[in-house]
Amino acid sequence: MKNLAGMMKQAQQMQSKMQEMQERLMEMEVEGQSGAGMVKVMLNGKGEMRGLKLDKSIVDPEDVEVLEDLIVAAYNDAKVKVEAQVSEKMKEVTGGLNLPEGFKLPF
């Protein structure tokens, strides 16, 4: 039974750390870019867009498709960076515990 009590205590500690991490993710800001920095997208740690900056030189009403593609590319760049940072923070929370691919915490 000592083992079970120890596991419960560890689970509670992990849950507390997860709560803290969730709060930090909302404060995290990650920038993605495209078009040699002419399009910049800011995301928080949850992948929510917090900002968009466009260089005036790329705004061409006759060629909206290019601008749309650059925004998507900048978002995807930021999303990859967010996922990498979240993965690192998860390793800190789980103490390096290798969780299966796609396993999401909190449950």
∠ at Cα 29 (26, 32), nearest 5°?
135
Q: Could you tell me the fold of the domain covering 27-94? A: Ybab; Chain: A; (3.30.1310)
CA-closest candidate to residue 78, choices 31, 34, 29: 31
Distance CA(66)–CA(76), nearest Å, equals 15
Q: What is the pTM of this model?
A: 0.74
Distance CA(38)–CA(40), nearest Å, equals 7
Reported as a single tens digit per residue, the pLDDT across 64-101 is 999 999 999 999 999 999 999 988 888 877 765 555 55
Reported as a single tens digit per residue, the pLDDT across 16-62 is 887 888 888 888 999 999 999 999 999 999 899 999 999 999 999 99
Place of tokens 């993605």: 32
Distance CA(10)–CA(4), nearest Å, equals 10
Query: What token pair was written down for 21?
Result: 């991490």
Return the domain boundaries, the chain.
Answer: 27-94
